[in-house]
Structure 1
Amino acid sequence: MATDRGALRDLGVTLALSGLGAGLFAVVGMPAPALTGSATAVTLAVLAGLPMRIPTWLRDLCFVTLGLNIGSSVTPDVLRAAATWPLSFAVLAVTLFCSLFASRAVLERGFGYDRTTATLASTPGHLGYVLGLTADMKADIVTISLVQSTRVLFLTLVVPLVVTLLFEPTGATVLPRSVVTPLSLGLLYVAAFALGLVFLKLKLPAAFLLAGMAASAAGHLGEITPGRMPDALAVAALLVMGALIGTRFRGAGMVAFRNCILAGLCITGIALAFALLGATVVMATLGLPIDMLIVAFAPGGVEAMAAIAIQAGLDPTFVAAHHVARLALLTVMIPLLARHTLGKTD
């Protein structure tokens, strides 16, 4: 019982700090304050030693809510536009492969990482999957976690800022103007969670986010559940998402953080350079907006990047589809690279 009370207290403090950070960022005019402000506040609290916590049930609820919000933007016009996306996916695959190998070389030669640790730390995404593999391999799990978490936090903070500073606001309304009814919303949540459990069984990446997107898209295309998510729920999901990013630094001392942050920033810079190259190629070939492509190709978390797309008035379906494709590619690539790495070191 005492443990339960302690967990609830930690959760309450985490959410309070998340809201405070979002409020401060909103006051100073930072982009996507609910996401960037909460991530910054909770990260600083974690590094200061405070027990920040986001339980699994709340994480899954957050992902489902984000997925339902993204799925509400799916229309027949979006599906017709998707016919032009395969080339974009192909460019994404090439840049992903080049980014991974360039980052691994930098970590090996510039930071002295062993081949296995460098391979897993340089992977541009799929943190949970990477850490699961790390448990079965001779790699530094603390270093990998810190380097990868630095990537996620940096991109969550920088991508909205870059899009805001370099590009004019789109003024686009990518979500329906009307709000979904309570009955339809309840049906969507039930369907999304049921589908999420199926996706988990199938070991799909971002299972609950994908389930929310699929349930919402089906409901909107069939005109069964018209309308967007209530604003309060959408903002609450962003606050939890930001807090979740911050909690990934739990257990990291300041010394370990300082030693890994430079490595994390270096590989993030490399990944961003290849992402910008890929975005430029697709823009020149397909004529798609460069700001949307930057968010789609940036190697951040699928949930965070899709949320940023909504905040910026960009097509969240396009963005989410590219990040899910990146995770699917990494699901295949990482074990193959890991086996090759072990073969080299044994």
Structure 2
Amino acid sequence: MSFPELRQFLITSLIGTIGALVAIAIGFPAPYLIGPAVAVSFAGLAGLSLEIPHIVRNACFVIIGISMGSTVTPEIFVAARTWPLSFVMVFVAVVILLFAAAWVLQRLFRYDRTTALLAASPGHLSYVLSLAAEMRCDLRAVSISQSVRVLALTISVPLIVEIFDLAGNDVVVIPQSMSIPILMVMVIVSAGFGLLFQRWKFPAALLVGGVFVSISTHITGSVSGTVPNWLLIPIYVLLGSLIGSRFSGVSLADLRVALVSGLVVTFVVMALAAGIAVTVSYVADVPLDAALIAFSPGGLETMAAMAVMLNADPTYVGAHHVLRLMFLSVLMPFVIGRDARLK
């Protein structure tokens, strides 16, 4: 990391930390995500060049994956009997959200079909932007629309859970933290599996690597305990800062139309996803807070972190988001079809 990159990272982290402290003072739910995301977004729109380096971002994903997997116990598999219907609804939800949002973008904002489909994709930001870079479409519109969706969901989902008192009332037993030596081994092994999954083109490979190793060791009893808060809280702050940094370097002129379209589409998909989540919660007897986070078309890493912070079932949430991203990986090239012409 060069000195300018280090300085940029430190400034981004400082702004994110200030945002987290303000969010805590105000009493926002999930303050370590919301505060940094909002603060860094405004700072980026004000003209600051802000960024979280890839190596830091990747480390965050690995640790969040380990944190998710550490909640898995044998009792989880007993509850999994109700998940098949919920899993089927993931496919239904993705198709509904994708085509509803694309229709809105084409009809109301006159996006061409390819740009509309890519901007409407309910998740998988890095994959969608990679596709957009190789196609004849408005890459800036796709990027801004997708970033608005991630930011809006990061802010709104925990607020909805808090305002409507949807969080579970069960007493949460805080597990003992892992020892530092065990945690270090877990991180190294998880990173290794994450890199392997990257070669195999898994979505969110580094996070999945952490989840895989953590579940494997916790379910067998080889390892117990979770990621300590002294590490997890800074990771959440960095993740929130990463979300906000996507608006760095975007001018207000470029932002105006894409921002409005992104907000409209986000509202549409949130309403549809909430309706699906309520249905799944009722039919499959899943806690409503977990269903809302599981079916929200936000970033996998962000929604996973949110599930942990809001005491929703992170295994249920993580499994649904991984399934959504894998389905999108296959679905997007298929629905774009003939429009997928190289530039």
Q: TM-score range by the shorter chain?
A: over 0.9
Give the secondary-structure state (helix, strand or coil) at the position aligned to 1:149: helix
When structure 1 is superposed on structure 2, of 328-337 and 166-175 the one drifting more is 166-175
Task: Write the letter of the residue equivalent to 2:316.
Answer: F
Instruction: Tell me what 2:316 maps to.
Output: 318
Instruction: Tell me what 1:36 maps to.
Output: 34
Deviations 1:264-313 (A, max 9, x none): 11111121122122112212211111121111101111111111111111
Q: How far apart, in 1, do the equivalents of 2:243 and 2:181 lie?
A: 31
Which consecutive unaligned segments of at least 5 residues does structure 1 have? Answer: none
Deviations 1:188-214 (A, max 9, x none): 011101000101000100111111111
Task: Judge conservation of contact 1:147–1:260 (CA < 8 Å) in 2.
Answer: yes
Note closer, same or farther for the CA distance 1:103–1:169 as it changes in structure 2 (3 Å cut): closer
Task: Write the letter of the residue equivalent to 1:283.
Answer: S
Note closer, same or farther for the CA distance 1:302–1:342 as it changes in structure 2 (3 Å cut): closer
TM-score of the aligned structures, taking structure 2 as reference length: 0.96
Task: Judge conservation of contact 1:54–1:244 (CA < 8 Å) in 2.
Answer: yes
Structure 1 segments (4+ residues) deviating >4 Å = 171-176
Task: Write the letter of the residue equivalent to 1:261.
Answer: L
Deviation at 1:238, TM superposition (A): 0.3
Task: Judge conservation of contact 2:281–2:288 (CA < 8 Å) in 1.
Answer: yes
TM-score of the aligned structures, taking structure 1 as reference length: 0.95
Q: How far apart, in 2, do the equivalents of 1:281 and 1:306 lie?
A: 21
Instruction: Tell me what 1:164 maps to.
Output: 162
Deviations 1:16-40 (A, max 9, x none): 1110000000001001111000111
Deviations 1:28-59 (A, max 9, x none): 10011110001111111111111112111100
Instruction: Tell me what 1:237 maps to.
Output: 235
Task: Judge conservation of contact 2:167–2:289 (CA < 8 Å) in 1.
Answer: no
Note closer, same or farther for the CA distance 1:25–1:5 as it changes in structure 2 (3 Å cut): same
Deviation at 1:136, TM superposition (A): 1.6
Q: How far apart, in 2, do the equivalents of 1:175 and 1:306 lie?
A: 19
Instruction: Tell me what 1:77 maps to.
Output: 75
Task: Write the letter of the residue equivalent to 2:3.
Answer: R
Deviation at 1:170, TM superposition (A): 2.7
- Matched pairs, number: 341
1:14 corresponds to which of 7, 12, 15: 12
Task: Judge conservation of contact 1:46–1:247 (CA < 8 Å) in 2.
Answer: yes
Determine what percentage of the aligned residue pairs are the same residue.
Answer: 39
Q: How far apart, in 2, do the equivalents of 1:243 and 1:268 lie?
A: 20
Q: How far apart, in 2, do the equivalents of 1:209 and 1:174 lie?
A: 24
Q: How far apart, in 1, do the equivalents of 2:311 and 2:199 lie?
A: 33
Task: Write the letter of the residue equivalent to 1:160.
Answer: P
Instruction: Tell me what 1:47 maps to.
Output: 45
When structure 1 is superposed on structure 2, of 251-260 and 101-110 the one drifting more is 251-260
Give the secondary-structure state (helix, strand or coil) at the position aligned to 1:300: coil
